[in-house]
Structure 1
Amino acid sequence: MTSRTRQDVVHFATDFTLWGIDMPQPAGTYRVDYDEESIDGASWIAWRNVGTFLHLPAIVAGSATKQMMPVDLADLQSALKKDQQQ
């Protein structure tokens, strides 16, 4: 089984909360890593998510402390959708 890490950037226009992160996070642009494993078929390759990690703090925040927090992909997608609707 092959694995990969895909990176993306997400933007929140307002403060947000995610399950597993103790404090609300400020609006901003955040890096996200998606760990994926291949699902091999006879004539195709697909990928499934096995881990999602949010980099804290936001990209523009000037902080010496950086951390990657595991988050639930569905929770992250829900928070992004909620943010876009506001």
Structure 2
Amino acid sequence: MPVIPAPGVIFSIWLITFLTPTTWLRFAVWFIIGMIIYFSYSRHHSKLREGQPEPETRASGRRSACAGRRSGLSIPYGNTEARYPQFSAFR
């Protein structure tokens, strides 16, 4: 367990215990307002809702060479056949 973050978390929790009920109420109200804005925006601007393909699916409907891998690396999307014709993985 890291040495510096653990006391920092404990100290922050200790400081939070001294907040007044009015502060907690303000926090709760602003938190709820923020969650309403966050979920309203995300629901309205969702790419899945518009029927667009998931990021690991190519525009041609075929899965990319890295689809399903969780390595953190990805290939560029778009017309990869035109840019990299020498690689058979893109065909």
TM-score of the superposition, structure 2-length normalised?
0.21
- Greater relative contact order, per chain length (Cα 8 Å cut-off, separation 6+): 1
Structure number having the greater strand percentage: 1
The higher radius of gyration belongs to 2
User: Whose helix proportion is higher, 1 or 2?
Assistant: 2
